[in-house]
């Protein structure tokens, strides 16, 4: 007999307005499974403004407040303050923003919310660009990717700069909990949402959200690409609680990034050398994460200082 | 009733405590700071049971109270000048979501050049955001107006945010005796904001959303009707307040010795006090002059302005801001309001007190002389320095 590994509850309705194969839609569905009905969501201008469908309908089975693109962090601080002031019981306050509304224009409000230690969850769904406005580059767009504002024409070969590291920025604020999640790994996703739900203080989830029209791949490949993003080490799954890193999915050997790159039109112009550069950078990033996990592991005994110093050579 | 010596800023804070605000959020800017310093102390000493959310910008301060207000909390913020300009996008959100926030604004000049003196450019340039705008002239009126603003803003037929504006330093930092009403009395005037949450946890709803032309027009029309309702409700709110405290501040357009006046000056804010003493001096000299203090700038009390226009020959509107390429902004509004009046007096536009320059009784005398003179000027910049000062370099 099959065993349900995810909560059966659906708080995202059918009839939403997402594109076929939409990563952000999957991220929202899994998020709400883990959060439950007493969630208040604050959503800035992003794909989800549209996916949730226009007035007077809604595709979400929870209370939703819209806010301008840059102020999600402040909005969830206000919702938390009001829920506390009014003694509303068991309210989970969540901001759900795209990568632009989090890491670019929304960065100040996010930093403010983390610094003032708002008891709320901020979720960045990362489709690596301004997709709702027609695929423009954001700070979270990967280096070398084509977008409509980083064309591949003449001497220009897509985005010149590397992807902004939002987890590093968030972790510099010492949040109560931060994790990466990927809808291609739903059990890991929901478990982390449930963990985040039960931790008090500022919490952050970085959700990979593949975008078929923006990344230029076929809509039935969303899960495959999501899996590859993690299995190549490009988007490792880990969580950080009280400063302790824990990798939650560990592959024996990383798959070549070429498998991920060659399936997306936004990297179609890449040469073998460019793939190799990404391969080297990805390997280095993965090793850095492994070291971080070892360094912060609580089970390790503290290094023993040598007694009496290093003996002098004879 | 206790009597305290309060600045306009302290009066804001005392009123917010009496109003039992539940969420306060603010970012410091001169000359607003003493409002939020006082409120921080009230929260710290336990005399105000509110969540004080310390934020990293005015933009976030307003978003915090917008979101708090959406869940049903009575919410307050305060700012000035550049801070208000940074809030601009959120001002539209607050009105559009029908969040009955009250905000204290200390009217200060806008840079460049930097200037922290009194000037109405900051609030006047927010006139199309859907906020109610009130301009008290004394600390007493500030305290009373903040309480009235909460009452008005939270009425079911209104549900709009309101600004209570004070001239920088002349009002924000000048102390005077204020009657502080007892809390029980204010509780009767301003009961808790219950059942007014627009968003509830556990209830499927979306506040904000998006629409095409099929519904957007109706949302804007609802907002317009709510704004009109303010004009109908302010007199009722003031009357309730008068019954409890014995004080009134004259409604939307507070007139003084205008009944048989030939010429009337229209002012906003603290210069009204100066102008009133000049009216008394001129009356004593047999001149038929009066004063109309525009206490409510948004919505504009057009009916009251037309009624006033029906009995006077000349109106002089004194603006503490300028609409570039046009006239003094209030003068332009008054002229437009009077276009439909059966009797239209001459309307002169005076600019005075820009960037914190003192408006003295001498200036007011001169404005009355010009107003009573034969030629109506398009716009008169009162007390302009000779060009040799060389601001052009």
- d(CA A89, CA A78) in angstroms, rounded, equals 16
Q: What is the pLDDT of residues B268-314, one digit of tens each?
A: 999 999 999 999 999 999 999 999 999 999 999 999 999 999 999 99
Structure tokens at B378: 């398009």
Using the Cβ of A133 and the Cβ atoms of chain B, whether some distance falls under 8 Å is answered with: no
Q: Look up tokens 């969501």; give the residue.
A: A41
Contact between residue B53 and residue B64 where contact means Cβ atoms under 8 Å apart: yes
Per-residue pLDDT reduced to its tens digit, A155-181 = 999 999 999 999 999 999 999 999 999
Closest-CA distance, A61 to chain B, in angstroms, reads 5
Q: What is the mean pLDDT of chain A?
A: 95
Best to test chain A binding among B67, B69, B193, B214 (most A CBs inside 10 Å):
B67
Range of the domain at B123: 2-195+206-245
pLDDT at B108: 98
Distance CA(A163)–CA(A100), nearest Å, equals 12
Tokens of B356: 């914190």
| Residue with the two structure tokens 């499974």 | A33
* Residue A217: predicted pLDDT: 98
Indicate the CATH number of A23-296 among 3.40.50.970, 1.10.10.10, 3.50.50.60, 3.40.50.620.
3.40.50.970
pLDDT of res. A314: 44
* Helix, strand, or coil (residue A122): strand
Instruction: Tell me whether residues A66 and B54 touch, CB distance under 8 A.
Output: no
Best CA proximity match to A266, nearest among A225, A231, A233: A225
Question: Could you tell me if B49 and B121 lie in one domain?
Answer: yes
State whether A74 and B204 contact (CB < 8 Å): no
Inter-chain CB proximity A71 and B59 less than 8 Å? yes
**CB environment B144-170: b (16+ within 10 A), e (fewer):** bbbbbbbbbbbbeebbbbbbbbbbbbb
Q: What is the pLDDT of residue B374?
A: 87
pLDDT at A313 over 60: no
- The rounded distance, in Å, linking the Cα atoms of A283 and A279 is 6
CATH at B133: 3.40.50.970
How many separate domains does chain B show? Answer: 2
B84: tokens are 């208000």
Which residue of A lies nearest to B92 if distances are taken between CA atoms?
Answer: A68
Of the listed ranges A300-314, B47-61, B175-189, B202-216, the one predicted with least confidence = A300-314
What is the band of B389 on the pLDDT scale with cuts at 50, 70, 90? low
Total-model pTM: 0.95
Taking the C-alpha atoms of residue B65 and residue A77, their distance in angstroms, rounded to an integer, is 9
Q: Which of B171-175, B322-326, B387-391 has the lowest mean pLDDT?
A: B387-391
Rounded to whole angstroms, the Cα distance separating A179 from A166 reads 11
Q: Indicate whether B24 pLDDT > 60.
A: yes
> In chain A, which residue's Cα lies nearest the Cα of B195?
A86
Output the CA–CA distances (angstroms, integers) from residue A271 to A275, B86, B209, B316, in the order listed: 7, 46, 44, 74
Same domain flag for B273 and B212: no
Residues B329-354: pLDDT tens digits? 999 999 999 998 988 999 999 999 99
**How many angstroms separate the CA atoms of A266 and A255, rounded?**
20
| B299 closest CA partner among B152, B201, B141 | B152
Q: CA B199 to CA B374: how far, in whole Å?
A: 59
Percent of chain B at pLDDT exceeding 70: 97
Residues B179 and B227 both lie in one domain: yes
Nearest residue on chain B to A67, alpha-carbon basis: B208
pLDDT tens-place string over residues A64-90: 999 999 999 999 999 999 999 999 999
- Element (DSSP H or E) covering residue A263: none
Question: Could you tell me if B318 and B350 lie in one domain?
Answer: yes
User: What would the mean pLDDT of A125-144 be, rounded to a whole number?
Assistant: 98
Asked if residue B222 belongs to a domain, the reply is yes
Asked whether residue B200 is domain-assigned, the answer is no
Q: What is the mean pLDDT of chain B?
A: 95
CATH of the domain at B298: 3.40.50.920
- B202/A50 CB distance under 8 A: no
Whether pLDDT at A40 is above 50: yes
Shortest CA distance from B77: residue in chain A: A78
């Amino acid at each position: 007999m099959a065993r349900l590994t995810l909560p059966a509850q659906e708080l995202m309705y059918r009839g939403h307005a997402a594109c076929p194969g939409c990563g952000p839609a999957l991220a929202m569905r899994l998020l709400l499974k883990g959060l439950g009905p007493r969630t208040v969501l604050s959503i800035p201008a992003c794909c989800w403004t549209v996916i949730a469908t226009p007035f007077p309908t809604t595709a979400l089975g929870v209370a939703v407040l819209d806010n301008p693109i840059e102020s999600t962090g402040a909005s969830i601080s206000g919702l938390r303050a009001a829920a506390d002031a009014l003694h509303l019981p068991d309210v989970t306050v969540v901001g759900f923003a795209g990568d632009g509304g989090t890491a670019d224009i929304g960065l100040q409000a996010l930093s403010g919310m983390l610094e003032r230690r708002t008891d709320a969850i901020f979720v960045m769904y990362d489709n690596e660009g301004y997709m709702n406005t027609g695929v423009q580059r954001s700070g979270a767009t990967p280096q070398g990717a084509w977008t409509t504002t980083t064309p591949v024409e003449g001497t220009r070969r897509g985005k010149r700069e590397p992807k902004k590291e939002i987890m590093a920025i968030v972790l510099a604020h010492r949040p109560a909990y931060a994790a990466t999640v990927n809808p291609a790994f739903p059990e890991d996703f929901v478990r982390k949402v449930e963990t985040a739900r039960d931790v008090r203080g500022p919490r952050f989830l970085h959700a990979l959200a593949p975008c078929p029209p923006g990344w230029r791949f076929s809509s039935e490949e969303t899960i495959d690409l999501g899996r590859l993003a993690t299995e190549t080490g490009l988007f490792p799954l880990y969580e950080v609680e009280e400063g302790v890193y824990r990798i939650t999915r560990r592959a024996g050997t990383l798959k070549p990034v070429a498998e991920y790159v060659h399936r997306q039109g936004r990297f179609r112009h890449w040469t073998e050398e460019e793939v190799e550069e990404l391969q080297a950078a990805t390997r280095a990033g993965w090793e850095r994460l492994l070291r971080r996990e070892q360094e912060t592991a609580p089970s390790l005994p503290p290094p023993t200082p040598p007694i009496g110093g290093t003996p002098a050579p004879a | 009733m206790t009597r305290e010596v309060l600045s306009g800023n302290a009066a804001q804070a005392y009123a917010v405590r009496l109003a039992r605000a539940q969420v306060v959020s603010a970012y410091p800017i001169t000359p607003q700071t003493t409002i939020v310093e006082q409120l921080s102390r009230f929260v710290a000493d336990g005399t105000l049971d509110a969540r004080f959310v310390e934020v990293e910008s005015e933009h976030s301060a307003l978003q915090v109270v917008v979101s708090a207000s959406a869940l049903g909390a009575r919410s307050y913020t305060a700012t000035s000048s550049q801070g208000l300009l940074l809030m601009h996008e959120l001002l539209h959100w607050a009105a559009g979501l029908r969040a009955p926030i009250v905000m204290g604004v200390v009217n200060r000049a806008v840079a460049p050049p930097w200037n922290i003196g009194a000037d109405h450019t900051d609030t006047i340039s927010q006139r199309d955001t859907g906020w109610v705008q009130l301009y008290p002239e004394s600390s007493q009126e500030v305290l009373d107006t903040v309480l009235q603003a909460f009452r008005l803003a939270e009425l079911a037929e209104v549900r709009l945010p309101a600004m209570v504006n004070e001239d920088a330093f002349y009002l924000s930092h000048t102390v005077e005796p204020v009657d502080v009403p007892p809390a029980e009395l204010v509780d009767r005037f301003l009961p808790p904001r219950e059942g007014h949450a627009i968003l509830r946890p556990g209830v499927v709803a979306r506040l904000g959303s998006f629409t095409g032309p099929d519904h957007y027009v109706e949302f804007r029309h609802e907002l317009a009707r709510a704004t009109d309702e303010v004009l109908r409700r302010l007199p009722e709110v003031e009357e309730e307040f008068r019954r409890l405290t014995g004080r009134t501040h004259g409604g939307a357009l507070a007139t003084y010795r205008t009944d048989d006046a030939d010429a009337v000056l229209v002012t906003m804010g603290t210069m009204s006090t100066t102008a009133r003493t000049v009216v008394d001096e001129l009356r004593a000299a047999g001149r038929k002059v009066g004063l109309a203090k525009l206490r409510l700038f948004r919505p504009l009390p057009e009916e009251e302005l037309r009624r006033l226009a029906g009995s006077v020959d000349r109106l002089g509107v004194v603006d503490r801001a300028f609409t570039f390429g046009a006239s003094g902004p209030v003068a332009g509004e008054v002229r437009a309001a009077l276009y439909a009046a059966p009797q239209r007096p001459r309307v002169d536009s005076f600019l005075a007190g820009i960037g914190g320059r003192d408006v003295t009784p001498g200036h007011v005398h001169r404005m009355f002389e010009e107003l009573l003179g034969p030629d109506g000027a398009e716009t008169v910049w009162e007390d302009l320095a000779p060009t040799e000062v060389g601001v052009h370099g």
